[in-house]
Amino acid sequence: MTKENSGQDLTDTDFLSSPFQKAVRIYLPLSAIIVILLFPFYWMGITAIKPDQQLINLDEVNPFWVVGPTLKHINYLLFETEYSHWMWNTMMVAIISTIISIFTSVLAAYAIVRIRYKGAKYVGLLIFMAYLVPPSILFIPLSLIIVNYGLWDSPLALILSYPTILIPFSTWLLMGYFKSIPFELEECALIDGASRFQILTKIVLPLSTPGLISAGIFCFTLCWNEFIYALTFISSQQNKTVPVAIISEMVDGDIYRWGSLMAGALLGSIPVAIIYMFFVNHYVSAMTGAVKE
């Protein structure tokens, strides 16, 4: 009986580790996740190259496939609208806001984590709590400030507004990563006569490259996709960013230019996808280090 039971257990173990079980437990769920995540991009892609008749008549034409693709909608988007200017506005606002936010967050996170003073722990907590305030509440008082300072309908309004929602989270993220750096390295540098600024620029920042990349990706992505502030603070067509412009300029009353609208959304998501593709490993490692702390 013992031998038979052992043989049965061995057979069950082999079955659990068989290619079939691996496919059911690993590859099938991964395939489902990939399909779910990539389907919006597929839908935007086929909608951007569909003729007008196939966009309207979905009963007689397969909505998941394209017959006789056309570049009419993409051509209209790129050459008959100011899409390139909208893309430039979005890129400029996202890059400058990200630089300001990262620079400020580095100084704040290092001061909270490394410089010993009374109440430092509570300052870090208050900064993170500021991130929890919904931006939909802040844009009302911010709009009054923007108008009073004469920044209405200017990209500068977005550049100065976005750091208010970027700095709290970036500071919290960098605080967790700075804590993972051994403090003994800084003590040795202080003994050798290095200043705090030299320690920050020559020791802490080089070791915190994954954390900086992670915070930069977060800031850039949020600026690129932000809609409420861009819709509220910008009114002229030439100053709009991509998320707002493709919604407001591709809709004429009750007429939706679905082909050009989807083409604009697809092209607008490519820069962010490229950034994630190149820096995904650093992003994951930095997020893991921040969560551990």
* Tens of pLDDT, residues 241-281: 999 999 888 887 778 888 999 999 999 988 888 888 877 76
pLDDT of residue 244: 92
On the 0-12 / 13-18 / 19+ scale of CB atoms within 10 A, 1 is exposed
Assess if CATH 1.20.1250.20 describes domain 79-292.
no
Q: Which residues pair with 256 in a beta bridge?
A: 251
Q: Are residues 267 and 275 in contact, defined by beta-carbon separation less than 8 angstroms?
A: no
pLDDT of residue 53: 84
What is the pTM for the complete model shown? 0.82
Q: For residue 83, which amino acid is it?
A: Y
pLDDT-based confidence at 292, cuts 50/70/90? very low
**Bigger pLDDT: 285 or 15?**
285
Nearest-angstrom CA–CA distance, 104 and 98: 10
Nearest-angstrom CA–CA distance, 5 and 9: 6
**Bigger pLDDT: 219 or 11?**
219
pLDDT of residue 288: 53
DSSP codes, 253-271 = TTEE-HHHHHHHHHHHHHH
Domain map of the chain by residue range?
2-70, 79-292
pLDDT-based confidence at 160, cuts 50/70/90? very high
Q: Is 27 left (phi over 0), alpha (psi -120 to 50) or beta?
A: alpha
Non-local CB neighbours of 125 within 8 Å, separated by 6+ positions: none
Question: 247: which DSSP letter?
Answer: H
DSSP codes, 92-109 = HHHHHHHHHHHHHHHHHH
